[in-house]
Amino acid sequence: MIVEINNLVKRYENNIAVDHINLSIKEGDIYGLLGPNGAGKTTLINTMLCLSRINEGQIKIFGKDLYSQEEEIKKEIGIVPQDVAIYDDLTTYENLVFFGKLYGLKGNLLKNRIDETLEFIGLQDKKKAYPKKFSGGMKRRLNIGCAILHQPKLIIMDEPTVGIDPQSRNQILESVKILNEKGSTIIYTSHYMEEIEEICKTITIIDHGRVIASGTKEELKNLISFEDRITIRLAKANNNLCNEIKSIDQVKECIVEDNRLTIVSSKNSKNLGRIIDVITQQNSLIQEINLEKPTLEGVFLTLTGRTLRD
């Protein structure tokens, strides 16, 4: 495990921001922390960077105790904080020099890493420009550049796509995947379930400082779903066809409406093939098939009784 957190507690006066959290993050993962505003994502990350003192628990990173080997550990971490942290009155290039030197890079190595990074974040033609004139997305990309120059083993990104244009957002999501393929483990926080779902291999849902659920997206969705819902649009549908589909084992429901069948079947019953067979035997023409899958939003709703965007 690259990160192991045991029974972590962080309180702010009377408020418990991290409430007995346990996490294990595998090397090579893109680990998503999904939770609404105030869930405790940033506080949890700050404790991992020693920016926030903890009340109880242990944190191990790279197999080492964070509090006894802080300096060694932090050299191998890249952090993209929730609030952009770059210097407005340094150029793009100067910002990269500054952060590269902080991590001990110099000379040709520093220069080469900066060139590679500029290309990676798509800001080659802005290297002499000042970030104060940048869009939110460009600032974010520069901030990511500053965090990855030293090729860290672990990259932590705290809501890096909030409030930016779709193009920068896609570019950032792509770059997360590439950084992971090149060998970095990524911790990625967001309250956008769609992007967590798109890029993360393991997802932990947190709310009120507690872990609500954790697993792959399939595992999380299986928590709430015992059924598949299939809709099929036909050139012509009738009750007779519907009754025949209903007689298939583990089909629980079939409704026909405007030539559209809505079928509820037990999860993983592999009934889709049987249903299509019945339709084909009746010579009905299939125009559209949809397997409606449960979403992470649905998981959150079922487990907490609230929506993610409350």
Ligand X SMILES: Nc1ncnc2c1ncn2[C@@H]1O[C@H](COP(=O)(O)OP(=O)(O)OP(=O)(O)O)[C@@H](O)[C@H]1O
Q: Which residues bind ligand X (CB under 6 A)?
A: 12, 15, 17, 35, 37-43, 82, 191
Nearer to ligand X, 28 or 136 (CB): 136
Residue 37 interacting entry, from Mg ion, ligand X, none, C-beta within 5 to 8 Å by type:
ligand X
d(Cα 157, Cα 257) in Å, to the nearest integer?
A: 47
DSSP-derived pairing of the beta strands 210-215 and 202-207:
antiparallel
d(Cα 12, Cα 243) in Å, to the nearest integer?
A: 60
Residues 111-170 that bind Mg ion (CB under 5 A): none
Strand order in the sheet with 185-190: 77-80, 154-158, 185-190, 30-34, 202-207, 210-215
Helix, strand, or coil (residue 21):
strand
Torsions phi, psi for 100 (to 5 deg) = -60, -45
158, amino acid identity: D
Nearer to ligand X, 56 or 257 (CB): 56
Residue 12 interacting entry, from Mg ion, ligand X, none, C-beta within 5 to 8 Å by type:
ligand X
Nearer to ligand X, 35 or 152 (CB): 35
Residue 40 interacting entry, from Mg ion, ligand X, none, C-beta within 5 to 8 Å by type:
ligand X
Smallest separation, CB 42 to Mg ion (Å) = 3
Smallest separation, CB 145 to Mg ion (Å) = 21
Residue 43 interacting entry, from Mg ion, ligand X, none, C-beta within 5 to 8 Å by type:
ligand X
Q: Which residues contact 270 (CB under 8 A, 6 or more apart)?
A: none
Residue 92 interacting entry, from ligand X, Mg ion, none, C-beta within 5 to 8 Å by type:
none
Bridge-partner residues for 264, per DSSP?
229, 253
DSSP-derived pairing of the beta strands 251-257 and 260-266:
antiparallel
Nearer to ligand X, 93 or 192 (CB): 192
Torsions phi, psi for 7 (to 5 deg) = 50, 45
Nearer to Mg ion, 41 or 169 (CB): 41
Smallest separation, CB 151 to Mg ion (Å) = 26
How many helices (H) and strands (E) are present in the chain, helices listed first? 11, 14
Residue 15 interacting entry, from Mg ion, ligand X, none, C-beta within 5 to 8 Å by type:
ligand X
Q: Using the rule CB under 5 A, is 42 a contact of Mg ion?
A: yes
**Nearest residue to the partner Mg ion, using Cβ:** 42
Nearer to Mg ion, 41 or 139 (CB): 41
Q: What is the DSSP letter of 183?
A: T
Smallest separation, CB 6 to ligand X (Å) = 19
Nearer to ligand X, 12 or 98 (CB): 12
d(Cα 118, Cα 145) in Å, to the nearest integer?
A: 7
Nearer to ligand X, 15 or 290 (CB): 15
Instruction: Mark 78-97 with x for binding to Mg ion (rule: CB under 5 A) and - for no binding.
Output: ----x---------------
Beta strands in 198-248 (DSSP E): 202-207, 210-215, 227-234
309: nearest Cα among 16, 34, 55: 34
d(Cα 57, Cα 20) in Å, to the nearest integer?
A: 8
Q: Using the rule CB under 5 A, is 214 a contact of Mg ion?
A: no
Smallest separation, CB 41 to Mg ion (Å) = 5
Q: Which residues contact Mg ion (rule: CB under 5 A)?
A: 41-42, 82
